Structure 1
Amino acid sequence: RVIFNIVNFSKTKSLYRDGMAPMVKSTSRPKWQRLPPKNVYYYRCPDHRKNYVMSFAFCFDREEDIYQFAYCYPYTYTRFQHYLDSLQKRNMDYFFREQLGQSVQQRQLDLLTITSPDNLREGAEQKVVFITGRVHPGETPSSFVCQGIIDFLVSQHPIARVLREYLVFKIAPMLNPDGVYLGNYRCSLMGFDLNRHWLDPSPWVHPTLHGVKQLIVQMYNDPSSTSFNRDAVKAGTGRRFLGGLLDHTSYCYTLEVSFYSYIISGTTAAVPYTEEA
């Protein structure tokens, strides 16, 4: 039986105080499982400059096994590439994949276009929905949500068919592939929080942001204003920059997803996520 102490958390509020627990899997039990919440503690520690510590107890029961632990359900760069490869093999005439650029370590920046081929004819009027995800590598729920969006949009659901008929969906599902591959929580390979560098991304330090920004500027080149707050801390975020760049007919949203659970409609019951739902 071992007690792990993960130190130097800075936030008073944490889902680890609301029932969230780290994930574990092993070679003989390869499916990710949550540890029992009763074995997890989150507390302020005077030995760490009054920062917070997350401690959890775990019993190793098979000496020959290799065990892995995770903050939340992982979603790797490799998994993402396999997923896109499987979509391409379906040869759907309304799904297009291209490489918009490369990361610092030469990983692909994938751009997906989902729409009826008629909408891509020269001269066709386009109403575009532009979706980006995984700018912060540790926010793995965004990849599960993004995959769910893609799965729906390429499906034969009647609503998906109508959406493809009237809209062009441009999706860059993984803006920080180096950070994802390396297991970073928030930053890129070179230590930058990419969601603070939309204003002036460098083509060699922030190449994925630079590529996406160039595409958006090319598609929409009209200056406008935004009702998003002017908090200096948020300067350079995607929502703030794009809201200021696009004209008054455009809308920018950030969809934030819990690391732990969702609320059933009409109740206050928190249901922990699984990989399937």
Structure 2
Amino acid sequence: MTGASAAIHSICTHLFPRAKQILLSSDSEAVVPHPQEPQNLDDSSPASQFSLVYWPHQCEVIRDRIEHIDWIPTTPEPLYTPTGLEMTPPYQTPDKGTLIYLGEEANKNSCFMYSQVRGLCPLKQILHQKGDNTLIFEARFESGNLQKVVKVNEFEYQLTLRTDLYTSRHTQWYYFQVSNMQAGMPYRFTIVNFTRRNSLYKCGLRPLLYSEADAKKHKVGWRRTGNEIKYYKNNAGQGGRQYFSLTWTFQFPHDGDTCYFAHCYPYTYSNLQEYLVAISKDPVKSKFCKIHILCHSLAGNIVYVLTITNPSQSGKGTKRKAVILTARVHPGETNSSWIMKGFLDYILGNSGKAQVLRDNFVFKVVPMLNPDGVIVGNHRCSLTGQDLNRKYRSNVKKCYPSIWYTRNMIKRVMGERDVFLYCDIHGHNRKQNVFMYGCERKQQGKAPYAHPRVFPLLLSKSCPDKFSFPDCRFRVRKSKEGTGRVVMWKMGINNSYTLEASICGSKLGCRRSTHFDMKDLESIGQHFCDALLNYCVHNKEEHEKVVKQQARVNSKVLNSDVLGWDS
């Protein structure tokens, strides 16, 4: 261990002592202290039932589990078109209104200390007084994020998001519940503490709304909502920091309903566990998909790894190349989980194409790299307050276990077989379309099969109304050297990518100026498989044709990073 690594390890040992995880007794709801050493296992223990969900000890969590139905609109939902008449409500200090919701002060501690299962921290008294028409807000559930709500007037509310735990930054993701509403009235919500100057809300992105009444009566789920949408710099800046507001107006569909608002389609840790349990109990899928514990997170939550391949004849399995996919290193990029679900649905299916892929590859999949961040409703960080996608060079296993064990697993796989492709799936909050970041040396080899631009171009051909090859980038910037994509490339994986999907929608073809829905996101994972199948055929003539086609695209556009940053 280097001197720098030793110093970091010492700091982490002080800040993040061994988690004391408090388990619920199976016989009662009493708290049973039960210290557990996080099981740093690698492909060892099967996952066939729900694991308990662990939270930082100071987090208040309601006992009800929030569930939503899946629903796809019959036609793509259009982006919002500004009228030029949108209002820009100023930031109101709390004394100018009525404080009606105040989340737990989880950030009053400077670092994570220990975890416990949900529902064990006593809830504070609700500020709302029954008997009036004030909205009731709640966000103390998985992936929820809301710190404070001030009622400005009868139908106008000012919302403040909670920053990522143990940081003072990263406000983008939101997900909260509202009840006690009146149907048809002109409500206005204004979120006042965004920190990024640029936002897809400036490009027509609309918030998501879910109505429990509509889900129950009409089987309608998440849909876009909002008028008079405006994203703008506000007057709340202090200490040199600038803040930006998102405001929108809307009407609730039903009296006395329970509704939810979200930045993107939620996909929680419990959603993932439910999906994996179904796979493990499927008599067919469980034969070629093995689910194991890669490691435990800082809070003690399981990080799963899936191994997917068809049973091989004796001695032939070692010749299969590996494909490695990861997702959800950034908790607020929930669309990455829907893409991953689409990929898994396809590769675990019974189609001839899925069979061919499972015959030709061994897939290693880590579907949720940052379960702690997902659970607490963070946008970007883990419970260390750090961006895990900058820690792939770190040797500090205790602070960044999912990253350390993922990298270690990949190293082990590389010792056993060739790794054909690595891809980390993300969401993008400043650009539209789907695109990829790859890694390319200045003097890239001429072999078409080894060219890192081939796979993205094949994916663009498979998905022309969503995936934009001209938006792809292949420059390796110094600031990205700690990312999974660059570290895996330097470890020797030539086809090493970040797949980025806009939180908003597409600017291409018939999908121009429309939002992505859950089906669109899942289809990206399916098209990924199609492109992989086309690539693995080893059609040299087709690959040479692809390389020649991409060479005609303006290289200055392809290698420019001025349009945005990668994850």
TM-score (norm 1): 0.88
Residue matched to 2:518: 275
Which whole-Å CA distance do the structure 1 matches of 2:259 and 2:404 have between them? 38
CA gap 1:218/1:229 in 2 versus in 1, 3 angstroms: same
Does residue 114 of the first structure (1) align with residue 312 of the second (2)? no
- Size of the aligned set, in residue pairs, is 271
Of residues 477, 491, 494 in structure 2, which corresponds to 1:245? 491
Which whole-Å CA distance do the structure 2 matches of 1:73 and 1:86 have between them? 21
CA gap 1:269/1:230 in 2 versus in 1, 3 angstroms: closer
CA gap 1:170/1:162 in 2 versus in 1, 3 angstroms: same
Which whole-Å CA distance do the structure 2 matches of 1:119 and 1:258 have between them? 42
Which whole-Å CA distance do the structure 1 matches of 2:303 and 2:376 have between them? 16
Q: Are the equivalent residues in 1 in contact too, given 2:209–2:224 (CA < 8 A)?
A: yes
Deviation at 1:242, TM superposition (A): 0.8
Which whole-Å CA distance do the structure 1 matches of 2:387 and 2:282 have between them? 35
Does residue 56 of the first structure (1) align with residue 248 of the second (2)? yes
Deviation at 1:58, TM superposition (A): 3.6
Q: Which runs of 5+ in 1 are unaligned?
A: none
Does residue 8 of the first structure (1) align with residue 193 of the second (2)? yes
1:135-150 matches, cutoff 5 A: 135-150=329-344
**Range moving further from structure 2, 197-206 or 23-32:** 23-32
Which whole-Å CA distance do the structure 2 matches of 1:84 and 1:40 have between them? 38
SS of equivalent to 1:220: helix
Q: Are the equivalent residues in 1 in contact too, given 2:440–2:476 (CA < 8 A)?
A: no
Partner letter of residue 21 of structure 1? R
String of CA shifts for 1:231-274, please: whole Å, max 9, x gaps: 23213111111111125xx310111001121355x456132122
Partner letter of residue 68 of structure 1? Y
Q: Which runs of 5+ in 2 are unaligned?
A: 1-154, 157-187, 216-220, 419-438, 442-473, 521-567
Which whole-Å CA distance do the structure 2 matches of 1:121 and 1:212 have between them? 26
Which whole-Å CA distance do the structure 2 matches of 1:268 and 1:274 have between them? 11
Deviation at 1:111, TM superposition (A): 0.6
SS of equivalent to 1:184: coil
Q: Are the equivalent residues in 1 in contact too, given 2:291–2:305 (CA < 8 A)?
A: yes
Which whole-Å CA distance do the structure 2 matches of 1:88 and 1:123 have between them? 22
CA gap 1:121/1:184 in 2 versus in 1, 3 angstroms: farther
String of CA shifts for 1:163-191, please: whole Å, max 9, x gaps: 11111111001000110111110011221
Which whole-Å CA distance do the structure 1 matches of 2:225 and 2:368 have between them? 28
Does residue 131 of the first structure (1) align with residue 131 of the second (2)? no
CA gap 1:83/1:268 in 2 versus in 1, 3 angstroms: closer
Partner letter of residue 43 of structure 1? Y
Residue matched to 2:281: 89
Which whole-Å CA distance do the structure 1 matches of 2:267 and 2:385 have between them? 20
Larger radius of gyration: 2
Does residue 71 of the first structure (1) align with residue 315 of the second (2)? no
Q: Are the equivalent residues in 2 in contact too, given 1:133–1:173 (CA < 8 A)?
A: yes
Which whole-Å CA distance do the structure 2 matches of 1:104 and 1:139 have between them? 20
Q: Are the equivalent residues in 2 in contact too, given 1:226–1:240 (CA < 8 A)?
A: no
Partner letter of residue 256 of structure 1? E
CA-based RMSD: 2.4
SS of equivalent to 1:187: coil
Q: Are the equivalent residues in 2 in contact too, given 1:8–1:51 (CA < 8 A)?
A: yes
Deviation at 1:19, TM superposition (A): 1.6
Deviation at 1:73, TM superposition (A): 0.7
Q: Are the equivalent residues in 1 in contact too, given 2:209–2:261 (CA < 8 A)?
A: yes
Deviation at 1:116, TM superposition (A): 1.2
String of CA shifts for 1:77-114, please: whole Å, max 9, x gaps: 10111011111111222111111111111111111111
Deviation at 1:44, TM superposition (A): 1.9
Residue matched to 2:11: none
Which whole-Å CA distance do the structure 1 matches of 2:365 and 2:495 have between them? 16
1:142-221 matches, cutoff 5 A: 142-220=336-414
TM-score (norm 2): 0.45
CA gap 1:275/1:229 in 2 versus in 1, 3 angstroms: closer
Does residue 23 of the first structure (1) align with residue 212 of the second (2)? no
String of CA shifts for 1:108-142, please: whole Å, max 9, x gaps: 11111111111796872230000000000000010
Which whole-Å CA distance do the structure 1 matches of 2:268 and 2:295 have between them? 19
Partner letter of residue 24 of structure 1? L
Residue matched to 2:480: 234
CA gap 1:142/1:121 in 2 versus in 1, 3 angstroms: farther
Partner letter of residue 230 of structure 2? Y
SS of equivalent to 2:266: coil
Does residue 80 of the first structure (1) align with residue 272 of the second (2)? yes
Of residues 492, 498, 506 in structure 2, which corresponds to 1:262? 506
Identity of aligned residues (%): 35
